[in-house]
A = this chain, B = another copy of it.
Amino acid sequence: MLRFDSDYMEGAHPEILRRLSEINFEKNPGYGSDDYCKSAADRIRAACGCPDARVYFLPGGTQTNATVTDALLKGYQGVVSATSGHINQSEAGAVEAYGHKIITIPEKDGKIPAEDLREYLDAFFGDSGRSHMVEPGMVYISHPTEYGTVYTLSELEALSGICRSRGIPLYLDGARLGYGLVAEGSDVTLEDIARLCSVFYIGGTKVGALFGEAVVFPDPAYDDHFFTYAKRHGGITAKGWILGLQFDTLFTDGLYLSISRSAVSLAVELKKGLKEKGYSMLTDSPTNQQFVIVEKSKLRELEGLLTYSYWDPYDESRSVIRLATSWATTKAQVEELLELF
């Protein structure tokens, strides 16, 4: 059985497991106060070009999203998201659980168009009745998006400029950031993101770690008691060094990007192969997730041979499925997959 459901199906990059074994009996202080977290944070600051950035390590993505929104929003504020945003669709109300509304803007290819954001904000702040409404206090985007697409540098700059002119933090969910940074044709670097966002996270769970995400505040002014917010969200890991060591490894010798590149180049190969066989894609994704339009009869054929993520209905005879590569996917697996189609 071939498995292309997602990018969180394998364990961790072997170097991570090797180092975990190596330090297993070292005694480290808890809650992120250890030297591995310090070293990992230093490497991330260097990679971002932000010597003053604050860096925190949290166990998972939903928790990171809920903690960041809770920490940055005031009680009367909500967070702006594309309707298709992960926080709006797939996190069981984790943001609302802390009292905050998600204000939605219709997405285009999974992204918030800068012009639509500007129009919404102009309308809101121009409305004399706005004190009866939830104020937009943060903008949430993800890169790549739920549809595997990425922002261009000029799109990011436009969003960032709008947010800054309103004094609203821009937050980038980087659950799959590695795959976005090496996306086919992308002109956005980690330094750009650090320059343009008020806060973002670098996903580990889906990019080579056992688990863990690194939250980065390029400007420390946005970090007001974030540790305590994370604690109250249950997001502080007693054995914090396990997170630190993983990110320390991923940010040594460019590992994070090199394993992302492998996944993306295999996904591009997969896309090319499927197109050659006549398949269409829902979006033109330059990252590790491919959304393929497939006949339902074909899906029945594939039962028992392949697992994938069912995504959306498409039309009467076809559905959209997601096929995802990961840092651990091999060329042989992709070739085997293509033979099934």
**Which residues of A are interface residues toward B (Cβ below 8 A)?**
3, 5-6, 8-12, 14, 17, 20-21, 23-31, 59-67, 70-71, 74-76, 78, 89-94, 96-102, 104, 128-129, 131-135, 205-206, 210-211, 224-225, 227-229, 231-239, 242, 307, 310, 328
B232 touching A76 by the CB < 8 A rule?
yes
Supply 6 A–B pairs (Cβ within 8 Å), ascending by A.
A5-B29, A10-B25, A11-B25, A14-B21, A92-B228, A94-B234
The smallest beta-carbon distance between A51 and chain B, in angstroms, is 23
A90 touching B30 by the CB < 8 A rule?
no
Q: Give the dominant DSSP class at A's interface.
A: loop
Known interface pairs A20-B11, A63-B234, A238-B206. Does A101 touch B90 (Cβ–Cβ under 8 Å)?
Answer: no
Known interface pairs A75-B71, A211-B59. Does A96 touch B100 (Cβ–Cβ under 8 Å)?
Answer: yes
A132 touching B92 by the CB < 8 A rule?
yes
Copies in the complex: 4
B12 touching A29 by the CB < 8 A rule?
no
- B contact residues around A59 at 8 Å (CB): 59-60, 211, 237
| Nearest residue, chain B, Cβ from A245 | B11
| Nearest residue, chain B, Cβ from A62 | B234
Which residue of A65, A74, A102, A128 has the most chain B CB atoms within 10 A of its CB atom?
A74
The answer, among B17, B65, B70, for a CB contact under 8 Å with A24, is B17
